[in-house]
Amino acid sequence: MVLSVSERTFAQEVFQASTPVLVHFWAPWCGLCRAIDPTLATFDAQWAGKVKLLGVNADQSLKLANTYRLTSLPTLILFEGDRVRFRFEHYQGREELRRTLDSWMLATVNSPQTQRLQPQQAVNR
- Of 30, 64, 78, 97, the catalytic one is 30
Residues facing 85 on adjacent strands: none
Query: What pLDDT is recorded for position 1?
Result: 61
Domains, the chain, with CATH or none: 3-123 (3.40.30.10)
**pLDDT digits 0-9 by tens, 27-49:** 999 999 999 999 999 999 999 99
pTM for this predicted structure: 0.85
DSSP the chain: -PEE--HHHHHHHHHT-SS-EEEEEE-TT-HHHHHTHHHHHHHHHHTBTTBEEEEEETTT-HHHHHHTT--SSSEEEEEETTEEEEEE-S---HHHHHHHHHHHHHHHHTSPPPPP--HHHHHT-
**pLDDT digits 0-9 by tens, 76-116:** 999 999 999 999 998 888 899 999 999 999 998 887 654 43
30 given a catalytic annotation: yes
Query: What pLDDT is recorded for position 117?
Result: 34
Is the pLDDT reported for residue 58 higher than 60?
A: yes
- Of 33, 65, 70, 76, the catalytic one is 33
12 given a catalytic annotation: no
